[in-house]
Structure 1
């Protein structure tokens, strides 16, 4: 099942994708449904209307607009760790994103107006949406805590990322965290999204391509490890890491500029597309 959040009459509306159409479900948000522990498939069956709208005619929103937490995983593909000149960590490298950085599919990704940066880098990733929370979740049961998966582009302002040992600022500029377009329920995908191809394209050129089998810490391991320390809540998002090919590691560097088109595709999940725009002075 492919659930889509979109704007209608000035508020968030939930729909289910049926080809190029969205079947209207209602105005309860994905965050609310997941927080209530609702079985998404059952909810859709009981609440779906007969009304359909063209997916191309509506403004899409991130699948969840204000997740309780957005936990990002760095250095989770060994080839990316190598190109970044780090030793491969034996424990997941975690950092947080904030909800104000999120943008939707087809919404502009913003190249920030700061003097200390030449550009914006791409990082194609898979987003894991938690459906059932908990603490000290075992690896064996971890995948039962997943509501679904989506696509993420962890847009990074590298100069600010490396101003300090903590990466937070460079990963949290407004308008740099692209998320969507669909949330695909876990039952429609291989367990833990094993064996899926993740690919990033910049202006049509493939710049990242890897299998999820290459992740150092798989989805179940991430959920279990994070929950040793942090209570996972329904609606939390885990952004699970990017493979090699980032622009910052290239020579010459390949950083995104206004007018560029960045697309991230994950097999069986979908394609997230954003055009880069320069931040406009207030």
Structure 2
């Protein structure tokens, strides 16, 4: 299943793609997508519907973030071998976990707003994982059974805020619009192996990131199992699993976002995003 939300910002409705790629309105069946509404049980209920009988949305207009809100927006740092190398940092011995503010959530085609005082805005294509049931002390063997869906994420970052200012990375990760997600939530049963997906990002038409999730230092299984040793993951939690090489910070000379830059982001099978960078008012 490919689930999405469509409509003006703040007025989105839940929808689903039918077999022909058309949007069908789920608002008569589902209030919205978030928390328990994207649990494995909730997705099974949607899966049992006759999608062809749902109202056809001929002009869905804006495609919003496929999640109305998230309990937690987790991220994994330095999780691709070549990215760690370009960052001049050793491969971590265990997953580096940090968070983005949930207010960073944004639609896949909405502008990315470069915040005030920003000088080092950057891009990061990532495979996103949505948790489908309470997850605590899960084994690696069972970890993927706790995934509801996968998605494309752009983990937009401000490197000066992240690295050169005091405190944790969350400061450089959490500005409004710094978390474009979507366009879809693709149910886990449609992703045979999350470790074989191409991940890519084009900047102004030039490919700057082009890798595969096989380059991950820690697999999705390992990430979920590891995190569950320290916290209980909940339905609707989202995890951005790390970015490959090709970020602006790693370029020589370094390159950072400026107003008018266009990012196009894709994870194989999970949909393509497009954002234009704009200056904060």
Coarse TM-score class (shorter-chain normalised): over 0.9
Contact 2:35 2:237 in 1 (8 A): no
Partner of 2:236 in structure 1?
235
Measure the CA separation in 2 of the matches of 1:68 and 1:9. Answer: 20
Contact 2:198 2:211 in 1 (8 A): yes
Contact 1:33 1:40 in 2 (8 A): no
Deviation at 1:32, TM superposition (A): 4.7
Measure the CA separation in 2 of the matches of 1:35 and 1:266. Answer: 20
Measure the CA separation in 2 of the matches of 1:54 and 1:98. Answer: 34
Partner of 2:11 in structure 1?
11
Deviations 1:50-69 (A, max 9, x none): 311246x4222211131111
Deviation at 1:270, TM superposition (A): 1.1
Measure the CA separation in 1 of the matches of 2:251 and 2:39. Answer: 45
Contact 1:110 1:276 in 2 (8 A): yes
Partner of 1:209 in structure 2?
210
Deviation at 1:141, TM superposition (A): 0.5
Measure the CA separation in 2 of the matches of 1:229 and 1:260. Answer: 39
Measure the CA separation in 1 of the matches of 2:150 and 2:211. Answer: 17
Aligned-partner SS, 1:225: helix
Deviation at 1:78, TM superposition (A): 1.1
Contact 2:33 2:66 in 1 (8 A): yes
Q: Does 1:38 align with 2:41?
A: yes
Partner of 2:122 in structure 1?
121
Mean alpha-carbon deviation: is it higher for 234-243 or for 5-14?
5-14
Deviation at 1:127, TM superposition (A): 0.6
Deviation at 1:12, TM superposition (A): 3.2
Q: Does 1:132 align with 2:133?
A: yes
Aligned-partner SS, 2:157: coil
What root-mean-square deviation, in Å, do the aligned CA atoms of Structure 1 and Structure 2 show? 1.9
Contact 2:126 2:152 in 1 (8 A): yes
Measure the CA separation in 2 of the matches of 1:10 and 1:75. Answer: 34
Measure the CA separation in 1 of the matches of 2:126 and 2:40. Answer: 26
Select the residue among 169, 180, 189 that pairs with 1:167.
169
Q: Does 1:51 align with 2:51?
A: no
Measure the CA separation in 1 of the matches of 2:89 and 2:35. Answer: 39
Q: Does 1:111 align with 2:114?
A: yes
Contact 1:119 1:257 in 2 (8 A): no
Contact 1:34 1:131 in 2 (8 A): no
CA separation of 1:143 and 1:36: change in aligned 2, threshold 3 A: closer
Deviation at 1:46, TM superposition (A): 2.7
Partner of 2:181 in structure 1?
179
Mean alpha-carbon deviation: is it higher for 162-171 or for 213-222?
162-171
Partner of 1:98 in structure 2?
101
TM-score (norm 2): 0.92
Aligned-partner SS, 1:110: strand
Deviation at 1:190, TM superposition (A): 1.6
Mean alpha-carbon deviation: is it higher for 86-95 or for 19-28?
19-28
Residues paired across the two proteins, number: 276
